[in-house]
A and B are shown apart, each in its own frame.
Chain A
Amino acid sequence: MNIKMIKNLLFLFCFALLFVACKKEEDKSNWLTNWVFPVAHTTIGIHSLVPDSLRTVNSDGSVNLSYVTNLNTINTNDLIVIPDTTILNRISIPFGSFLVNPGADVFQKTEVINFNSTSRLTRAILKSGKLIYSIKNYTNGVLDINYLVPDAKLNEIGLNLNKSIPKKEGSIPGISIGEIDLSGYSLKLTGLSNLLTNQITSYVTAKLSSNSLATTITMADSLVLSFTFSKLVPSYARGNFAPQSFDVNGETDVTIFGPLLDGNFDFDKLSLSLVLENGIGADVKAKLENFKVSNTQTNQSLNLNHTIVGANLNMTRAIENPYLPTRKYFLLDETNSNVLDFLELKPNKISYSIQGELNPLGNISNLNDFVYSNKLLKAFIDLKIPLNFSAENIVFSDTATFSWPIEEKREPYINKIKLKMLAQNQIPLGCKISLLFLDENKILIKEKLSNGDILPAIQELGSSLTTMVKSEIITTFTKEEFIELKKTKFIAWKTEFNTYNLPQKNTWYSNYILKINTSGSFEYRMHL
């Protein structure tokens, strides 16, 4: 190898070095980037404080907490009882025997059915009930049976049952068993004379089947019929209802105070409207024996103190055409009762007992009492709390599952994360925002408090109008905090409202809202 060759090779070696590069892992190419991303947004308004079902809005836009509930009273099953009634007949010829041709009548029977109800009913429309029948043929011919109740009608057609009963085999009769659904049937219960009550007429005819041979009927032959009107429940009844007493004990949940359980509210008004409605076409005498509110969490209770408690209330009958129930209204407030004390108790239950008497004066309507099963004696209450209050520590929150969003390998390249919240507040209450980081058992790991308050809106004197106030809050998560936050499984957003100018009360209007938008930003060192 000569000198020139060596020179050439050296040149080539140097040239080849151009393609070689060494780079340590820790000296990767990197550059700084800045990122901004939306994190969360929320709107807090009256809908956040009170669910739709618990609020009403007055004409001026002010909002009430409002809770309406029915109290259980009585039902038609208690009021009108039509006992099960069975008609059992054995029909035969009194003596001798005769030959019957196909198609000819064998037996006939007219039966008056009396329902032994304590009330004297002239008409009933059935909500439910059935007719159970059993027909046994002890003759040597096939019998076609027709059972007709003309005054029991469905769609203007009388109840009509036709059955073909096989002939007996030895001593074993031909049998037909079944039932008819009587739901929707209208019963005229005035008998054939139209002057009676609780009475209806049925007709049975038995003919030798036209497919049978001529058959001899003897004294030993018979037809055994059993018809049972069972579990008749009227949706409407008319007649004279028997005077009777009833007791109603009930309990109902009250949710109106749910939104007020946390924090300290200071209200100055509460009203309770009690409405009693007699939808029955008969007089009712009622007495509210007891009305008690209780908080099952604190085991505290309070009896309503008002003149209505223990007083006899005579409710005259409803009018049928046009239908018009009678009502009595009672407004209970801080001037005539102790209802304002309910606010202290924040009850979640109401219990009550009502004693009543139907037709205390007997039959004074000449059989014109009436009742609809869905229009009975009703009682309902309307609790109303105008949202004019001062507040301390009123907390709104939301919790979501959370997993640490940053991959471990990327953590070294992020310096810190900054959250920026922009609040636009139209509510004349100030608040604090905090983020709660919770572990898998929802135990608090860390609470990141905002370093500034959301300021209240400025309320114009004597007006529902407020001037919106903007507040910007910045919270920073340092790298050191990442270690703690990585254990987080749930994240809760907490908004805590306070009245700034206690004890002044603010009325809450339906248009009051607080909008909060949150963005995050961080520096990320990109690397290759």
Chain B
Amino acid sequence: MRLKFILLSFLVYNSIFAQEFLYFNQSSKEKSTKDFVSVIGSTETFSSGLNFNLLSQINRGGEINESDKNRDISNLNNLNRFLSVNRYGVFLEYTPIKKLKEKNFALTFNASQRNILAGSFTKNLAELIAYGNEPYLGKILDFTNSKFFQLNFQQIGLGIKKEIKIGELELVTSISVNYLNAKSGSAIEIFSSNLITDSSGFETSGNLNGNYSKFPPESKPGLFFVNKGNGISGDINFLLTKENKWSFSGGINDLGTVKIYQSAKVNVDTSFSFKGIYVDTYRLLYDTSYIANGDSLTRLLKFNESSPQKISMPYFVYLNFSKTILKEKFTLHTGLTYRNNFLNFPSFQLGMSYNKTKIIPRIDAIVFGGKNISYRIGAYHKFKEVLSIELQTFAPHFIFYRNSNSFGGAIVVSYFLN
């Protein structure tokens, strides 16, 4: 039994970096003859610039003072990226066809509610929000390449899993096709933009080239079953293990697009200079005419109503490797992940788990391409072959490193049907 947990621990923590893997990995932990159902909830935020200290402050509430702001802003890169993913749902592995089971096939089903928030922002944009523009009079604030993307959708997927024995090695592969039902979303893309307020504050000028889109265009998202767009995505994963020695896994997930039926889209491409209202002083008091000079930004906006849009999902690719060391007391874990779209940067993880207890603990360090290293802890336990619980959290409050640039966690409860 203990050895089995050791083996399982190879898999559990490789999934922590991107909790979407949990479905696959929970499935991978068990032989295909085992049917089970899992309930999954997860939230995860990480960034190349924002750190846990700031997020913790925001979460705690209260005043964020100047020294906190100074510290948080000083940690930022010129361009910072972030991703936040929330998900809750169920996963079912159930193979009613005996012949399939005998050939080591298993059928999978997943249904979940998901929300993806991703983006990038410049340090100048964060500075503007943190301090206002007064400290930057006479300086150019650059917002180029600041982007925000949010998508709220439901996912229902069907898949198939296959186990193959190759000598001492065991290969598990799976493929899943998911139907995506979009509920709401928005996107801001700033291709180029800067702002300067002169040293006296008498003139503000700059340019803005970008767009903003939102769907549904008219109001709030609506009920749970509302449908504002359809899409398809696919997940392909594999896991190669040599029992008690090492494992190697990889895959590509969320590869697909969502087509939005209707959206409100605003395109902006303008440069502007604003000196305030021009006071056309003359001698007749209370005349109502006046000239506004340079403040006609709105006329430059171009509105596109009801245009369908195709949105690419922020897919990710990963490769993980784990190896037992010190007479199988510990397992060493490494992993590399790359996310597309708004993030476009690789991240690297390195961790260790201890295999000699019933509750298997693990700790990892992750570098997200920013200046800070994030920490993460987790645990896995199985109750009498009936129920398993897996927990993980990023940079929890009580450990050590408040400048971690990720936070969140996941819980998976699985019930075995046979």
Q: Does A116 contact B (CB under 8 A)?
A: no
* Among candidates A5, A34, A35, A262, residue contacting B285 with C-beta atoms closer than 8 Å: A262
In the complex, what's the smallest C-beta–C-beta distance from B213 to chain A, in angstroms? 24
CA distance A27 to B284 in the complex (A): 51
User: Chain B residues near A401 (CB, 8 Å)?
Assistant: 288
Determine chain A's interface SS by DSSP, over half rule. Answer: strand
CA distance A99 to B275 in the complex (A): 95
* Among candidates B66, B203, B288, B396, residue contacting A399 with C-beta atoms closer than 8 Å: B288
Given the known inter-chain contacts A11-B359, A23-B59, A40-B276, please indicate yes or no for A16 contacting B411, CB distance below 8 A: yes
* Among candidates A15, A19, A396, residue contacting B281 with C-beta atoms closer than 8 Å: A396
Instruction: Assess whether B61 is in contact with A23, with CB atoms less than 8 Å apart.
Output: yes
Given the known inter-chain contacts A19-B393, A27-B62, A398-B280, please indicate yes or no for A34 contacting B131, CB distance below 8 A: yes
Q: Which residue of B lies closest to A400 (CB)?
A: B290
8 Å CB interface, A339-392 against B: none
* Among candidates B59, B293, B383, residue contacting A21 with C-beta atoms closer than 8 Å: B59
Instruction: Assess whether B409 is in contact with A40, with CB atoms less than 8 Å apart.
Output: no
Instruction: Assess whether A400 is in contact with B197, with CB atoms less than 8 Å apart.
Output: no
Given the known inter-chain contacts A8-B359, A38-B275, please indicate yes or no for A519 contacting B282, CB distance below 8 A: no
Q: Which residue of A lies closest to B63 (CB)?
A: A30
User: Chain B residues near A32 (CB, 8 Å)?
Assistant: 63, 66
User: Chain B residues near A395 (CB, 8 Å)?
Assistant: 283, 285
User: Chain B residues near A138 (CB, 8 Å)?
Assistant: none
Given the known inter-chain contacts A16-B411, A29-B61, A420-B201, please indicate yes or no for A524 contacting B283, CB distance below 8 A: no
Instruction: Assess whether A29 is in contact with B58, with CB atoms less than 8 Å apart.
Output: yes
CA distance A526 to B126 in the complex (A): 13
User: Chain A residues near B202 (CB, 8 Å)?
Assistant: 38, 41, 422, 517-519
Given the known inter-chain contacts A16-B411, A38-B274, please indicate yes or no for A48 contacting B285, CB distance below 8 A: no
Q: Which residue of A lies closest to B69 (CB)?
A: A31
In the complex, what's the smallest C-beta–C-beta distance from B198 to chain A, in angstroms? 9
Q: Does A274 contact B (CB under 8 A)?
A: no
Instruction: Assess whether A39 is in contact with B276, with CB atoms less than 8 Å apart.
Output: yes
Q: Does B200 contact A (CB under 8 A)?
A: yes
Q: Does A184 contact B (CB under 8 A)?
A: no
Q: Does B287 contact A (CB under 8 A)?
A: yes
User: Chain B residues near A35 (CB, 8 Å)?
Assistant: 132-134
Q: Does B277 contact A (CB under 8 A)?
A: yes
Instruction: Assess whether A33 is in contact with B132, with CB atoms less than 8 Å apart.
Output: yes
Q: Does B279 contact A (CB under 8 A)?
A: yes
Q: Does B389 contact A (CB under 8 A)?
A: yes
Instruction: Assess whether A38 is in contact with B276, with CB atoms less than 8 Å apart.
Output: yes
Q: Does A180 contact B (CB under 8 A)?
A: no
Given the known inter-chain contacts A29-B61, A30-B63, A399-B287, please indicate yes or no for A495 contacting B379, CB distance below 8 A: no
In the complex, what's the smallest C-beta–C-beta distance from A293 to chain B, in angstroms? 21
Instruction: Assess whether A397 is in contact with B64, with CB atoms less than 8 Å apart.
Output: no
CA distance A34 to B133 in the complex (A): 6
User: Which one of A16, A18, A258, A261 has the highest number of Cβ atoms from chain B below 10 Å of its Cβ?
Assistant: A18
Instruction: Assess whether B61 is in contact with A31, with CB atoms less than 8 Å apart.
Output: no
In the complex, what's the smallest C-beta–C-beta distance from B187 to chain A, in angstroms? 21
CA distance A454 to B35 in the complex (A): 86
Given the known inter-chain contacts A8-B359, A15-B391, A33-B132, please indicate yes or no for A23 contacting B60, CB distance below 8 A: yes
Instruction: Assess whether B276 is in contact with A41, with CB atoms less than 8 Å apart.
Output: yes
CA distance A23 to B57 in the complex (A): 11
* Among candidates B129, B133, B393, residue contacting A15 with C-beta atoms closer than 8 Å: B393
CA distance A37 to B198 in the complex (A): 10
Q: Does B135 contact A (CB under 8 A)?
A: yes
CA distance A44 to B59 in the complex (A): 53
Q: Does A6 contact B (CB under 8 A)?
A: no
Q: Does B345 contact A (CB under 8 A)?
A: no
User: Chain B residues near A524 (CB, 8 Å)?
Assistant: 132
Instruction: Assess whether A521 is in contact with B278, with CB atoms less than 8 Å apart.
Output: no
Instruction: Assess whether A36 is in contact with B197, with CB atoms less than 8 Å apart.
Output: yes
Q: Does B381 contact A (CB under 8 A)?
A: yes
User: Chain B residues near A398 (CB, 8 Å)?
Assistant: 279-282, 287, 290
Q: Does B397 contact A (CB under 8 A)?
A: yes
Q: Which residue of A lies closest to B287 (CB)?
A: A399
8 Å CB interface, B365-412 against A: 379, 381, 383, 389, 391, 393, 396-397, 409, 411
- Of the stretches A148-156, A239-247, A486-494, the one at the interface is A486-494
Instruction: Assess whether B283 is in contact with A30, with CB atoms less than 8 Å apart.
Output: no
CA distance A395 to B281 in the complex (A): 9
Q: Does A442 contact B (CB under 8 A)?
A: yes
Given the known inter-chain contacts A29-B61, A41-B276, A399-B288, please indicate yes or no for A422 contacting B200, CB distance below 8 A: yes
Q: Does B267 contact A (CB under 8 A)?
A: no
Total interface residues on A, CB under 8 Å, equals 59
CA distance A422 to B276 in the complex (A): 14
User: Chain A residues near B389 (CB, 8 Å)?
Assistant: 12
Instruction: Assess whether A492 is in contact with B200, with CB atoms less than 8 Å apart.
Output: no
Instruction: Assess whether A494 is in contact with B61, with CB atoms less than 8 Å apart.
Output: no
User: Chain B residues near A15 (CB, 8 Å)?
Assistant: 379, 391, 393
Q: Does B171 contact A (CB under 8 A)?
A: no
* Among candidates A48, A49, A397, residue contacting B286 with C-beta atoms closer than 8 Å: A397
Q: Does B332 contact A (CB under 8 A)?
A: no
Instruction: Assess whether B283 is in contact with A36, with CB atoms less than 8 Å apart.
Output: no
Q: Which residue of B lies closest to A44 (CB)?
A: B281
Given the known inter-chain contacts A396-B283, A400-B277, A517-B275, please indicate yes or no for A36 contacting B61, CB distance below 8 A: no
Instruction: Assess whether A49 is in contact with B396, with CB atoms less than 8 Å apart.
Output: no
User: Chain B residues near A519 (CB, 8 Å)?
Assistant: 200-202, 276
8 Å CB interface, A239-263 against B: 258-259, 261-262
Instruction: Assess whether B63 is in contact with A41, with CB atoms less than 8 Å apart.
Output: no
Q: Which residue of A lies closest to B59 (CB)?
A: A21
- Chain B 249-285 near chain A by CB (<8 Å), digits 1 or 0: 0000000000000000000000000111111111111
Instruction: Assess whether A41 is in contact with B279, with CB atoms less than 8 Å apart.
Output: yes
In the complex, what's the smallest C-beta–C-beta distance from A488 to chain B, in angstroms? 14
In the complex, what's the smallest C-beta–C-beta distance from A493 to chain B, in angstroms? 5
Q: Does B204 contact A (CB under 8 A)?
A: yes
Instruction: Assess whether B281 is in contact with A397, with CB atoms less than 8 Å apart.
Output: yes
* Among candidates B204, B290, B391, B393, residue contacting A37 with C-beta atoms closer than 8 Å: B204
* Among candidates B59, B61, B201, residue contacting A38 with C-beta atoms closer than 8 Å: B201
Q: Which residue of A lies closest to B410 (CB)?
A: A19
CA distance A42 to B281 in the complex (A): 7
User: Chain A residues near B201 (CB, 8 Å)?
Assistant: 36-38, 420, 519-521
Given the known inter-chain contacts A35-B133, A37-B201, A517-B275, please indicate yes or no for A27 contacting B409, CB distance below 8 A: no
Given the known inter-chain contacts A19-B43, A29-B58, A528-B58, please indicate yes or no for A36 contacting B137, CB distance below 8 A: yes
User: Chain A residues near B391 (CB, 8 Å)?
Assistant: 12, 15-16
Instruction: Assess whether A18 is in contact with B287, with CB atoms less than 8 Å apart.
Output: no
* Among candidates A28, A41, A521, residue contacting B61 with C-beta atoms closer than 8 Å: A28
Q: Does A24 contact B (CB under 8 A)?
A: yes
Given the known inter-chain contacts A23-B60, A495-B281, please indicate yes or no for A442 contacting B132, CB distance below 8 A: no
Q: Does B130 contact A (CB under 8 A)?
A: yes
CA distance A262 to B283 in the complex (A): 8
CA distance A37 to B204 in the complex (A): 7
In the complex, what's the smallest C-beta–C-beta distance from B357 to chain A, in angstroms? 11
CA distance A11 to B377 in the complex (A): 14
Instruction: Assess whether A34 is in contact with B281, with CB atoms less than 8 Å apart.
Output: no
Measured CB to CB, the residues of B under 8 A from A are 43, 57-66, 69, 129-135, 137, 197, 200-204, 274-288, 290, 293, 359, 379, 381, 383, 389, 391, 393, 396-397, 409, 411
Known A31-B65, A42-B281; 20 more pairs at CB < 8 Å: A11-B359, A19-B43, A21-B60, A23-B59, A29-B59, A30-B64, A31-B64, A34-B132, A35-B134, A37-B133, A38-B276, A42-B280, A44-B281, A258-B283, A396-B282, A397-B282, A492-B285, A493-B279, A494-B285, A519-B276
Measured CB to CB, the residues of A under 8 A from B are 5, 8, 11-12, 15-16, 18-19, 21, 23-24, 27-42, 44, 48-49, 258-259, 261-262, 395-401, 420, 422, 438, 442, 490, 492-495, 516-521, 524, 526, 528
17 A–B contacts, CB within 8 A, in A order: A11-B359, A11-B379, A29-B60, A31-B130, A34-B133, A35-B132, A36-B134, A36-B137, A36-B197, A37-B276, A38-B204, A40-B277, A41-B277, A42-B279, A397-B282, A397-B287, A401-B288
